[in-house]
């Protein structure tokens, strides 16, 4: 679809080919720094990935476990059923099994999240077992399928675990068979909720999806890095001014020679950074170690007396409660409750009220059982209360221990009173007896806190006496010097970053235009098939702006007049547009996924668009496994009308969310098989068989006739005959001969007998037998099986028939 050169290599080549007049060496160096990381080599994953089956249990509309088996490899599968039968549950099961994600809770439903409603209602109401979903996959040419299963162990939809197992039981990691990043780029799932959000969601999100798909998603990351560098440089450049103002305010009115020199250096339009730096260097404090120690002592904080007092009060209360409980019969209560539960269980299992120990009859009656249950509850409550008291005591001890801090590095190795007190305090962490812990901590905490305050006040006084006035000013000046030097360096970097970003924006536009051309062409082709009869035309699809502020421009016209896309499109056309943007992305040749799963694409489409959709899906199914879920039988009708090969599954849902999946057979073969089954039923009375078997055979033949007529008429006069037009041609309430004439001659009034005799000698007589038998005109069906076989041969002959075989008057064309 586009140049497959890796993006990093492509940008590197453009940077190296750029003239220095358009891209300076510094700007080029910045671009090299922001290049995307090289794409890792894919190992251990075989492709393409195909679906073998989808299984769900206790999930959404599916109660007991149900499985949807799918044909392996490219082809079209239609899963149909009424609303509420569980179709979407299977589609969502496949999506969440592989991605852990579902558009319903992510807010992708037209930008209106349904998080609370969906997350609370994802479990099936009729199935009590742990919910689970699974997909069976085939990876590349491997004959052995792999099953990805997601099982829930909690009430939240996030409380799930995913396992990946080969058929032989070997476990794998999910990323060994499914690339998560590829799922985002070539996402093969299109749920109905996302079908709408693709076009009426945020433009920036659609921009991201398309740009990522065409291999340019990392351009946004590079632009963001360049923008961040520009922003950071501007912030660095702006930092010195407020610091300079603060320094000048601190110097103002200060009677000190150093202050005069500093004010002179800071004055003027361009402050002299070097002069202020020299001033600070000359005035550097020689004894930095002593000053640092005094500052550390001044900020030294001992135990928080209020916190310690509160923690000790809770510890003492917990100790007292524990002492009360410890002298009770809590352990005996626990054991006695267990014995009583055993007695109750014996009574339930034995089914009588006899005492198992003394043998007394009816001693363990209902009154005894109710009293015993009450006693068990009381004993269990008593034991639980004791356990709670023990946990409370343990937590109270831990809370006190947490307040005891080790000796600070500043005091280690010292023999001062403060160091000694702190060592005693730190030993409290090793006390396990709660009473002793409370006593020792209660004595030491206030003593140590008072000693820390005294030492800190003394250190602060010495610092103040040491340099009361100048030191804060020197600190302000040092902050300004550092900020000014960084700002000077940032100015050069900002200019290079701005130049790099300007050049990169132009490159981005060029690359997007190149890669969007083929994507847009594919989208237009899909649109043309979906909306063949629409007055709305889709032209170029273009990306504009950046990932954060950009969007997707759609070149839309109505009867050759330009128009705003969303204002002129119907809901069906909007859905067609979404499919036009989804299919090129999901069917790209670089995608490792050989399947597409589309849920309910037919909604809001008129019949002609449904035919277009069938044609598009058929085209995709040439190279992809396409699975479509729908409640609208028009898609099946369109597929049949267009002669598209497809596997059809029918889903039904019975009471208690019991979902069944049935694979539909070829309609003619199915009708023949049903007739054969009836013909082989020995218990069927002859009088019933005389009418039922011919009627069923006649119905099978009529189905074959309509199929043949559909195939031969749909390309009439060099154009595709639409489904609506064909339905008008089908004879209503016709006789079998008219159906045959319709199939063989294209005219229900034609000479069916002559045409069918040339096609299948004896066919005319057979049709007569079937008609008479269906109306009770035959005396008896002498050989039921032979009648079915003859009908089957005639039906197959009609199905193989071509319009060129017999002319309107029976002659060769």
pLDDT at 147 over 60: yes
Least reliable range by pLDDT among 29-43, 146-160, 472-486: 29-43
Residue whose structure tokens are 């806190």: 449
Q: Which two tokens stand for residue 679?
A: 């013909």
Residues 64 and 148 placed together within one structural domain of the fold? yes
Residue 649 pLDDT more than 90? yes
CA distance 593 to 47: 7
CA atoms of 731 and 749, how far apart (whole Å): 10
Give yes or no for a contact between 152 and 57, defined as CB atoms under 8 angstroms apart: no
Banded model confidence at residue 810, pLDDT cuts 50, 70, 90? very low
What is the total count of domains within the chain?
Answer: 4
Interhelix angle for 470-530 vs 257-266, to 10°? Answer: 30
Domain that holds residue 435: 406-466
pLDDT per residue over 740-753, tens digit each?
887 887 778 888 88
* pTM tops 0.75, yes or no: no
Q: How far apart are the first and last CA of the chain?
A: 45
Question: Which of 403, 431, 454 marks a domain boundary?
Answer: 403
Question: How far is Cα 704 from Cα 796, in angstroms, rounded to an integer?
Answer: 8
Number of H helices, E strands in the chain: 29, 15
What's the CA gap between 4 and 1, in Å, rounded?
A: 8
The reported pLDDT for the residue numbered 481 is 92
Residue 32 counted as domain residue: no
Q: Indicate if the pLDDT at residue 803 is higher than 60.
A: no
On whether the CB atoms of residues 52 and 138 are closer than 8 A, the answer is yes
Same domain, 602 and 713: no
Place 1 in a pLDDT band, splitting at 50, 70 and 90: very low
- Kindly tell me the burial class for residue 767, based on how many C-beta atoms sit within 10 Å of its own C-beta (0-12, 13-18, 19 or more): buried
Whether pLDDT at 497 is above 70: yes
Q: Average pLDDT in the 596-607 region?
A: 85
Compute the average pLDDT of residues 268-278.
88
How far CA 202 is from CA of 109, 199, 552, 574, in Å, comes to 11, 8, 10, 15
According to DSSP, the β-strands at 551-558 and 536-544 are antiparallel
71: which 2 tokens? 């044909």
Handedness of CA 759, 760, 762, 765 (dihedral sign): negative
User: pLDDT band for position 179 (50/70/90)?
Assistant: confident
- Select from 664, 687, 715 the last residue of a domain: 664
- Give 286's pLDDT tier (boundaries 50, 70, 90): very low
DSSP 328: S
Is 372 within the bounds of a domain? Answer: yes
The pLDDT > 90 percentage for the chain reads 21
**Is the residue at 677 inside a domain?**
yes
Do residues 636 and 597 both lie within one domain?
yes
The answer to whether residue 268 is domain-embedded is no
120-129 residue pLDDT tens: 667 888 887 8
Average pLDDT score over the chain: 81
Mean pLDDT over residues 684-695, rounded? 85
Phi then psi for residue 464, to 5 deg, are -65, -45
3-state secondary structure of 693: helix
Residues 389 and 428 in one domain: no
Beta pairing partners, 630: 80
The region of weakest confidence among 238-242, 295-299, 551-555 is: 551-555
| Banded model confidence at residue 486, pLDDT cuts 50, 70, 90 | very high
Q: How far apart are CA 709 and CA 742, in angstroms?
A: 6
For residues 383-406, average pLDDT? 85
| Tokens at 745, concatenated | 């001659």
Domain assignment present for residue 300? The answer is no
Please tell me whether residues 137 and 164 are part of one structural domain.
Answer: yes
Residues 132, 110 contacting (CB under 8 angstroms): no
* Residue 810 located in a structural domain: no
With 90 as the cut, is the pLDDT of residue 132 above it? yes
* Residue 45 pLDDT: 52
Listed in sequence order, the residues at least 6 apart from 98 whose beta carbon sits closer than 8 Å to its beta carbon are 135, 148, 174, 178, 183
Residue 544 has pLDDT above 70, yes or no: yes
Contact between 730 and 709 under an 8 Å Cβ cutoff? The reply is yes
Question: How does pLDDT run across 445-457, given as a tens digit for each residue?
Answer: 999 899 999 999 8
Whether residue 660 is found in the same domain as residue 717: no
CA 657 to chain centre: 25
* Ranges 138-147, 331-340, 488-497, 753-762, most confident: 488-497
Q: Indicate if 660 and 678 belong to the same structural domain.
A: no
Q: How confident is the model at residue 301 (pLDDT cuts 50, 70, 90)?
A: confident
Using the 8-state DSSP alphabet, how is residue 594 labeled? -
Q: Quote the DSSP letter at residue 38.
A: P
Q: What is the mean pLDDT of residues 411-423?
A: 87
Q: What is the pLDDT at residue 291?
A: 66
Q: What is the pLDDT of residue 134?
A: 95
Residue 660 clears pLDDT 70, i.e. is over it = yes
- Residue 185 near residue 213, CB atoms below 8 Å: yes
Say if residue 375 is in the same domain as residue 410.
no
CA distances from 658 to 57, 58, 63, 122, 135 (A): 10, 10, 6, 16, 19
Domain shared by 367 and 422, yes or no? no
Q: Bigger pLDDT: 315 or 544?
A: 315
Report the candidate in 238, 244, 237 with the shortest Cα–Cα distance to residue 477. Answer: 244
Residues 69 and 155 in one domain: yes
In the structure encoding, which two tokens stand for residue 178, read together?
A: 């499914």
Contact of 769 with 786, CB cutoff 8 Å: no
Count of other CB atoms within 10 angstroms of residue 345: 10
Q: Is the pLDDT of residue 717 over 90?
A: no
Q: Which of these three, 349, 371, 403, is where a domain ends? A: 403
Can you give the C-alpha Rg of the chain in angstroms?
42
58-72, 100-114, 591-605: least confident range: 100-114
Residue bearing the bigger pLDDT, 39 or 595: 595
77-119 tens-digit pLDDT: 999 988 888 888 999 999 999 988 776 655 544 444 445 555 5
Same domain, 638 and 752: no
Query: Is residue 39 very low, low, confident or very high in pLDDT (cuts 50, 70, 90)?
Result: low
329 band by pLDDT with thresholds 50, 70 and 90: low
Rounded CA-CA distance 362/353 in Å is 4
> For residues 405 and 426, is the Cβ–Cβ distance under 8 A?
yes
**CA–CA separation, 271 and 481 (whole Å):** 10
Residue 607: inside a domain: yes
Q: Has residue 680 been placed in a domain? A: yes
Cis peptide before 76 (omega within 30 of 0): no
Q: Are 702 and 634 in contact (CB under 8 A)?
A: no
pLDDT at 806: 42
Q: Residues 377, 421: one domain? A: no
Mean pLDDT over residues 145-159, rounded?
Answer: 89
Long-range contacts of 558-566 (CB under 8 A, 24+ apart): 559/535, 563/536, 566/199, 566/200
> How many other CB atoms are found less than 10 A from the CB of residue 409?
8
pLDDT higher at 170 or 731:
170
More confident residue, 687 or 109: 687
Task: Report the alpha-carbon distance of residue 602 to residue 629 in Å, rounded.
Answer: 9
**How confident is the model over 781-792, as pLDDT tens digits?**
678 888 899 999
């Amino acid at each position: 679809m586009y140049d497959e050169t890796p993006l990093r290599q492509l940008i590197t080549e453009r940077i190296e080919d750029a003239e220095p007049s358009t891209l300076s060496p510094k700007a080029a160096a910045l671009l090299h720094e922001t290049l995307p990381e090289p794409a890792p080599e894919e190992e251990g994953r075989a492709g393409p990935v195909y679906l073998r089956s989808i299984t769900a249990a206790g999930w959404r509309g599916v109660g007991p476990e149900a499985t949807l088996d799918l044909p392996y490899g490219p082809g079209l599968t239609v899963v149909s059923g009424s609303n509420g039968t569980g179709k979407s549950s299977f589609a969502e099961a496949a999506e969440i099994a592989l991605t852990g994600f579902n558009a319903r809770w992510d807010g992708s439903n037209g930008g209106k999240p349904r998080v609370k409603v969906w997350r609370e209602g994802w479990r099936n109401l009729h199935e009590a077992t742990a919910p689970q979903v699974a997909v069976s996959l085939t990876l590349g040419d491997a004959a052995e399928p792999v099953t990805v299963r997601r099982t829930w162990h909690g009430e939240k939809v996030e409380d799930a675990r995913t396992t990946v197992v080969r058929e032989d039981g070997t476990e794998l990691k999910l990323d060994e068979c499914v690339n998560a990043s590829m799922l985002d780029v070539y996402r093969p799932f299109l749920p109905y909720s996302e079908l709408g959000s693709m076009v009426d969601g945020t433009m920036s999100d659609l921009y991201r999806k398309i740009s990522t798909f065409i291999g340019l998603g990392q351009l946004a990351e590079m632009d963001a890095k360049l923008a961040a560098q520009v922003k950071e440089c501007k912030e660095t450049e702006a930092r010195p001014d407020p610091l300079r103002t603060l320094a000048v305010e601190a110097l103002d009115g200060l009677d000190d020679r150093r202050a005069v020199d500093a004010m002179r250096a800071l004055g003027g339009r361009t402050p002299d950074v070097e002069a202020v730096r020299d001033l600070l260097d000359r005035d550097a404090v020689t004894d930095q170690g002593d000053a640092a120690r005094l500052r550390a002592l001044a900020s030294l904080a001992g135990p928080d007396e209020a916190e310690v007092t509160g923690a000790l009060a809770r510890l003492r209360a917990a100790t007292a409660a524990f002492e009360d409980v410890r002298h009770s019969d809590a352990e005996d209560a626990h054991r006695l409750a267990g014995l009583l539960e055993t007695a109750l269980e014996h009574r339930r299992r034995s089914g009588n009220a006899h005492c198992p120990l003394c043998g007394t009859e009816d001693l363990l009656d209902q009154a005894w059982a109710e009293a015993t249950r009450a006693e068990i509850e009381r004993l269990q409550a008593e034991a639980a209360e004791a356990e709670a008291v023990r946990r409370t005591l343990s937590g109270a001890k831990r809370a006190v221990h947490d307040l005891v801090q080790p000796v600070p590095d500043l005091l280690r190795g010292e023999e001062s009173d403060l160091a000694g007190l702190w060592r005693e305090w730190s030993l409290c962490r090793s006390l396990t007896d709660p009473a002793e812990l409370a006593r020792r901590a209660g004595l030491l905490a206030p003593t140590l806190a008072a000693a820390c305050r005294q030492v800190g006040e003394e250190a602060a006084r010495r610092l103040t006496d040491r340099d009361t006035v100048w030191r804060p000013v020197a600190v302000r000046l040092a902050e300004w010097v550092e900020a000014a030097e960084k700002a000077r360096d940032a100015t050069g970097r900002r200019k290079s970053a701005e130049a790099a970003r300007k050049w990169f924006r132009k490159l981005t536009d060029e690359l997007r235009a190149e890669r969007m051309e083929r994507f847009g062409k594919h989208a237009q082709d899909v649109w043309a098939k979906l909306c063949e009869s629409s007055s709305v035309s889709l032209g170029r699809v273009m990306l504009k702006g950046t990932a954060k502020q950009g969007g997707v421009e759609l070149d839309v016209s109505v009867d050759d007049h330009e128009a705003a896309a969303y204002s002129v499109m119907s809901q069906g056309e909007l859905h067609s547009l979404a499919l036009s943007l989804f299919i090129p992305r999901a069917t790209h040749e670089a995608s490792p996924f050989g399947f597409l799963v589309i849920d309910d694409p037919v909604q809001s489409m008129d019949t002609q668009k449904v035919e277009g959709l069938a044609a598009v899906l058929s085209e995709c199914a040439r190279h992809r496994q396409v699975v479509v879920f729908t409640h609208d039988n028009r898609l099946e009708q369109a597929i049949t009308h267009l002669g598209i090969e497809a596997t059809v599954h029918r889903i039904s849902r019975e009471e208690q969310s019991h979902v069944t999946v049935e694979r539909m057979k070829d309609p003619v073969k199915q009708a023949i098989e049903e007739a054969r089954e009836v013909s082989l039923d020995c218990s069927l009375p002859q009088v019933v068989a005389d009418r039922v078997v011919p009627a069923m055979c006649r119905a099978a033949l009529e189905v074959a006739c309509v199929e043949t007529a559909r195939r031969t008429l749909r390309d009439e006069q060099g154009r595709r005959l639409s489904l609506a037009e064909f339905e008008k041609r089908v004879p209503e309430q016709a006789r079998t001969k008219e159906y045959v004439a319709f199939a063989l001659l294209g005219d229900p009034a034609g000479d069916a007998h002559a045409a069918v005799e040339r096609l299948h000698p004896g066919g005319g007589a057979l049709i007569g037998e079937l008609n008479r038998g269906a109306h009770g005109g035959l005396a008896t069906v002498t050989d039921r099986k032979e009648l079915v076989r003859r009908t089957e041969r005639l039906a197959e002959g009609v199905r193989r028939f071509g319009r060129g075989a017999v002319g309107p008057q029976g002659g060769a064309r």
